[in-house]
Amino acid sequence: MPDLAAWRQFVVNVSRHNCEPAVPVAVEHVAIDGRDVLAVHVPDGQDKPYRANGRVYVRLGTDVHEATREEVARQPPLRAASRAHPPVTFPRRGVSSI
């Protein structure tokens, strides 16, 4: 069985250290059909654009692609210093709503 605490920490570390500005996430342990699952909740960001590993991505509907030079130019400038986000908590939901 995988170490869910280690996976939880991995997700939180990626959201804080690989994203600029840091992305607030809430990670929840749920059981689905007798299996342990980590549900990661990511709210709509207020500090767009975000960079992941130095790249900007754009979501169009359900598709995500790396931003073109023109798409990046249309975005507001990325702040030089990203601010730290406090942990985010979400109300507990049943498995059927995930």
pLDDT for 83 beyond 50? no
**Which tens digits make up the pLDDT trace of 23-34?**
999 999 999 999
Instruction: Look at residue 33 and tell me if it is in a domain.
Output: yes
Instruction: Look at residue 54 and tell me if it is in a domain.
Output: yes
Contacts for 94 with CB less than 8 Å, ≥ 6 apart: none
Instruction: Look at residue 29 and tell me if it is in a domain.
Output: yes
What is the length of the chain? 98
Rounded to an integer, what distance in angstroms lies between the CA atom of residue 40 and that of residue 26? 6
pLDDT of residue 92: 58
Structure token pair of residue 82: 């990203």
- Percent of the chain residues past pLDDT 70, beyond the cut: 74
Structure token pair of residue 35: 């299996």
Instruction: Look at residue 47 and tell me if it is in a domain.
Output: yes
Instruction: Look at residue 96 and tell me if it is in a domain.
Output: no
Q: Total domain count for the chain?
A: 1
Total Cβ atoms within 10 A of residue 25: 20
Instruction: Look at residue 88 and tell me if it is in a domain.
Output: no
**Which tens digits make up the pLDDT trace of 14-57?**
999 999 999 999 999 999 999 999 999 998 888 888 899 889 98
Structure token pair of residue 56: 């900007």
Which structural domain range is residue 24 located in?
A: 4-80
Match 């059909």 to its residue by tokens.
Answer: 33
